[in-house]
Amino acid sequence: MNKLIITLILAVLAIFVWRVAIVDAKQETCPKDNGWTKIDDLSGFTYTFTVPEGYEVTDNCYKAATDVVYGSGDTVTAEDKYELSHASFKLVEKEEPEPPVEPPVEPEIPPVDEPEPPVTPPEEPEVLEEPTPEPTPVVRVEPVTEGK
């Protein structure tokens, strides 16, 4: 009888351990392949990823307790009462900006010295003088008296 009880206890314990292992294996986690970089064993509510030179973060993912949350940017913040357990960041290479195309430089053509036209003094306008009026002769007429 003791063997039967011990066997039953061991069987129940084996089933329990097997079920826990299956549940843990199926629990969702953040990606770690195809351009994703995963950071494990986090603690606290916020984590900022140090982005390597020449890359940028397009998406992020974090897990706090059983919540898996996707977002964007290089910082994740757990919004619930649970701390972060891990986070992943999707990295893409930065595109090098095209150098600006400068317009072709045209050679500077020095100005040609053109001779200046000769300066002629302005003609003075002809001033017409008004004729001085001739005095009108005053003729006195005296009455002629006879006999004087």
The model's pTM: 0.50
Distance between CA atoms of residues 103 and 111, nearest Å: 23
Distance between CA atoms of residues 6 and 14, nearest Å: 12
What's the pLDDT at 73? 95
The pLDDT profile of the chain, 148 residues, written as one tens digit per residue, is: 778 787 767 766 667 655 544 444 457 899 999 999 999 999 999 999 999 999 999 999 999 999 999 999 999 999 878 999 999 999 999 987 778 888 888 888 887 777 777 877 778 777 777 767 777 777 777 777 776 5
Task: Order the strands of the 84-93 sheet from edge to edge.
Answer: 36-39, 84-93, 55-64, 67-71
